[in-house]
């Protein structure tokens, strides 16, 4: 059972990150290049620092894995997984299709997750064993029925994210789906939890890209797995599949893996 101090801390951490991010949104930023050529800004670094400082103060024995500042005690029983701005390209171009991701692993299992959009004020809070809570101007956290891929709204951040080995599987899924939309990063997964998108399939994802998403979507009635339908672990290969209706999972897996 997840204790309330963990949930409170996660929300307070999201608030702390938002206080850093909001004043910098749509402002002139010095954009640097990370090793993978994605942009990183002052907002990424300082937002993660604010989150890590809060966690260290309240739970000094917990571990933290963050995109910007690396891992500290990643083998601890409780490990926080942080992506301060998931969707940095959207952030630096003034589009509010990004979010802060704060997840908590217990012995490697995602048990708490927050998707926070600090500009629009939307927030998804997922806790294992509980219904996902959504705060926003409209919408309720509940995935919609969609039993077949042919009926599904498919989303993906970018077609360029797939390796040559993964591209054929995604193309099979894309061809079978009703419609595909691009962009959104973590925001697209939030839309799955609101019943507005039915599938997201992506690859080359790091643990900080997906750990917070699992409790959010599964608390809204969906599933998040690997492309083979397997449970995600810290050793996952980066291929992530989210479906709003679990009845569609097997079909999506068959398309992605050509089984």
Q: What are the extents of the domains in the chain?
A: 4-131, 149-257
Helices (H), the chain: 4-21, 42-58, 88-92, 167-176, 186-193, 207-210, 213-218, 249-257
Segment holding 40, helix H or strand E? strand 39-40
Residue ranges of the alpha helices (H) in 124-182? 167-176
Q: Span 4-131: which CATH code?
A: 3.30.540.10
Look up the pTM and report it: 0.95
- pLDDT tens, 106-160? 999 999 999 999 999 999 999 999 999 999 988 889 999 999 999 999 999 999 9
The secondary element (H helix, E strand) that includes residue 104 is strand 99-106
Contact 62, 79 (CB under 8 A): yes
158 torsion bin: left (phi>0), alpha (psi -120 to 50), beta (else):
beta
- CATH class, 149-257 region: alpha beta
Pairing of strands 122-127, 133-135: antiparallel
176-203: per-residue pLDDT in tens?
Answer: 999 999 999 999 999 999 999 999 999 9
In degrees, to the nearest 5, what angle opens at C-alpha 218 toward C-alphas 97 and 77? 95
What is the pLDDT of the chain when averaged over all its residues?
A: 94
């Amino acid at each position: 059972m997840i204790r309330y101090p963990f949930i409170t801390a996660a929300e307070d951490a999201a608030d702390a990150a938002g206080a850093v991010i909001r004043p910098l949104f749509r402002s002139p930023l010095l954009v640097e290049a990370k090793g993978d050529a994605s942009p990183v800004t002052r907002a990424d670094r300082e937002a993660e620092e604010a989150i890590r400082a809060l966690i260290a103060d309240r739970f000094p024995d917990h571990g933290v894995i963050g995109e910007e500042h690396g891992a500290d005690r990643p083998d601890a029983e409780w490990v926080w997984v942080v992506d301060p701005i998931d969707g940095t390209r959207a952030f630096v171009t003034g589009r509010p299709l990004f979010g802060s991701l704060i997840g908590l692993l217990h012995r490697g299992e995602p048990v708490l997750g927050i998707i926070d959009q600090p500009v629009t004020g939307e927030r998804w809070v997922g806790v294992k064993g509980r219904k996902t809570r959504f705060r926003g101007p409209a919408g309720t956290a509940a995935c919609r029925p969609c039993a077949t891929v042919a009926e599904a709204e498919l989303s993906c951040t970018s077609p360029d994210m797939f390796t040559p080995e993964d591209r054929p599987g995604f193309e099979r899924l894309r061809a079978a789906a009703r419609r595909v939309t691009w962009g959104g990063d973590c925001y697209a997964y939030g839309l799955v939890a609101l019943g507005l998108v039915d599938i997201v399939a992506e690859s080359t994802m790091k643990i900080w890209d997906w750990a917070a998403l699992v409790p959010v979507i599964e608390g809204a009635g969906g599933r998040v797995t690997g492309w083979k339908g397997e449970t995600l672990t810290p050793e996952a290969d980066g291929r992530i599949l989210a479906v709003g209706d679990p009845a569609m999972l097997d079909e999506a897996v068959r398309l992605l893996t050509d089984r």
